[in-house]
Amino acid sequence: MSAVRIFLIDDDLDDQEIFTEALQEVNPEMKCEAAGNGKLALERLMKMHQLPAAVFLDLNMPVMNGREFLSVVKQNEQLKEIPVVIYSTTNVKHTADEMMKLGASKVLSKPESFDKIVASIKSVLDELGL
């Protein structure tokens, strides 16, 4: 059985690194792949032989933002079943309802401490059964 793969879409390289480290802390068997914007992420998803178990998605990115990415993914027959977790510094209270209507599985605000990042990732993965 191959490792569970999580796909992070975030244009901030520091956030990508921190997320990957936190995911390893939650479960060293999980693999994290990352893309810096929604357009690149879509291109990579369409070429994957095995789709990720979940996508963690930032909202504010260049080229194709998180909102646009979520809309496209949830309308795509091949991709629409992938759980998408909004994971952003954007005021999630303001956007949570809209993101859930677009098909997000969960909306999270990026925590500020590493321990809280680990706890939030663990909580979401537990909710998703991963």
pLDDT at 1 over 60: no
Average pLDDT rounded to a whole number, residues 109-130: 93
pLDDT tens digits for 7-63? Answer: 999 999 999 999 999 999 999 999 999 999 999 999 999 999 889 999 999 998 889
What is the third-level CATH fold of 5-20+28-127? Rossmann fold (3.40.50)
Sign of CA dihedral 17, 74, 125, 110: positive
pLDDT the model gives residue 37: 95
91: pLDDT strictly greater than 80: no
Residue 108 has pLDDT above 60, yes or no: yes
pLDDT at 2: 61
pLDDT digits (tens, 9 = 90+) for 66-82: 999 999 999 999 999 99
Distances (CA, A) of 54 to 45, 94, 110: 12, 23, 17
pLDDT number for residue 87: 92
Tell me how long the chain is. Answer: 130
The per-residue pLDDT for 92 is: 67
pLDDT of residue 64: 87
Helix residue ranges, H only, the chain: 13-26, 38-47, 66-74, 92-102, 114-127
pLDDT at residue 93 greater than cutoff 90: no
pLDDT of residue 3: 78
